[in-house]
Amino acid sequence: MSHETAATRNSVFTPFNVVAGIIVILGLFITAVRFTKGLGATTNLSDNNPWGIWIGFDLLVGVALAAGGYVTSAAVYIFGMKRFHAAVRPAILTGFLGYALVVLALNYDVGRPWRLPYPFLISRGTTSLLFEVGACVALYLSVLFIEFTPAPLEWLGFKKARAIVVKLTMVLTIFGVILSTLHQSSLGALFLIAPSKLHPLWYSPYIPIYFFITSIIAGLSMVIFEGSLSYRYLKHKMDHHHIETKDDLALGFGKAAAWVLTGYFMIKVIGIAADNNWHYLASGYGAWFLVELFGFVALPAFCYMLGVRENNIRLIRWTAAWTVLGIIVNRFNISMVAFNYHLPSSERYFPHWMEIGISVFIVTAGLLAFRFICTRMPILYEHPDYEPH
């Protein structure tokens, strides 16, 4: 008995659990401070910089990296690429948790969570892009929840309810693609209102298209990245089918990511030409823009191509991680680095440690929820009692 207790204690107090536990406790403490003392006590936000990392990272990056759900379900159910079916459930779960955490993070920034339904019920700002983003995120979170439910329904043994939800798969996938197209691009369109605040190299009339295309890149890369992490840490929960198809998935998604990244690189260059912004490239911001364009777009595009051509799965996986980092850099540049670029450095925004703490807390909460669900429900394996759908 004492041996069992010691073994259980050992399995609970792993380095990951201890670090995650500390982060969660710290996050709950900052949450209490945020909702009792307000934004002034926990953030460095100001009238000049009303959006910090809770928007730049938690929302803009979170929504982009959660795009794997619609990308994978569209590939499998709409384009008929059934060989990638094993990736659907992990991608849908990542998307669902991603969007749920985006909504959670939004509450920290906006405050007064009980007023979250106000834009739909009390004060409908139907001419606002934020209304469209809010409506799409709310609807898409609901769609992702329904798309995710076959896994918990199989786990709970609710066969009839599961059969009903499975019949809705195609409708939900189409809804998901439409809603994602709308709000991924609208998040970029939010910056159209600030042409004088965003540096000309990042500001473009095409910014909604850039946001949408980068969301596809983020989705494809995130599925590869998350798949490799799952294989490394949750391999014991994977069935043969998932393990056998993981390399094929990396090759297929890597090939798609290579094409989309190449296309994105091309339209970014066209964007510079369309606004005649070539002369800005010789400035400090221009150097940083070139780092983003060549280091986080052209380089991963080439590495994906090389990985696919040479069948180098390891290179594809590392490139996926690098591309995910590139998406974070892009969203940070647009929402913070190149935003208010004309202000003196004393007026520029740098996040308060509590803002960073909440962002780390939210990412940790996502990881813990993902692990909790994957170790219990049929996400990385097919449930033996049910036909794959």
Partner 1 sequence: MDGIHTLQEFMLHTKNIIYILIICILVAMPAIWKFLAGRDDE
What is the contact surface with partner 1 in residues (CB under 8 A)?
255, 258-259, 262, 266, 269-270, 273-276, 279, 305, 308-311
Nearer to partner 1, 255 or 371 (CB): 255
CB of 128 or CB of 311, closer to partner 1:
311
Q: Which two tokens stand for residue 209?
A: 């298209």
Q: Which is nearer to partner 1, 115 or 314 (CB)?
A: 314
Contacts of 101 (CB under 8 A, 6+ apart): 58, 62, 362, 363, 365, 366
Cα dihedral 295→299→300→301 (10° resolution): 130
Q: Cβ(64)–Cβ(335) under 8 Å?
A: no
Tell me if 233 sits within 8 A of 375, measured CB to CB: no
Question: Please, what is the minimum distance in Å from the beta carbon of residue 255 to partner 1?
Answer: 7
Complex with partner 1: residue 279 or 342, whichever CB lies closer: 279
Query: How many whole angstroms from its chain centre is CA 230?
Result: 16
Helix, strand, or coil (residue 81): coil
Give φ, ψ of 157 to 5 degrees: 80, 25
Residue in this structure with the two tokens 């920034």, named with its chain if needed: 109
**Closest separation between CB of residue 302 and partner 1, Å?**
9
Judged by beta carbon, residue 35 or residue 280, the one nearer partner 1 is 280
Cβ nearer to partner 1, comparing 8 with 311 = 311
Rounded-to-integer distance, Cα 345 and Cα 13, Å:
44
Distance of closest approach, residue 305 Cβ to partner 1, in angstroms: 5
Contact in structure between 205 and 192 (CB atoms under 8 Å): yes
User: Is the Cβ of residue 66 or residue 308 nearer to partner 1 in the bound state?
Assistant: 308
Separation of alpha carbons 44 and 252, rounded Å:
43
CB of 262 to partner 1, least distance (A): 6
CA 198 – CA 188 distance, rounded (Å): 12
Are the CB atoms for 91 and 370 separated by under 8 Å?
Answer: no
Residue 309 Cβ, how far from partner 1 at the closest point, in Å?
6
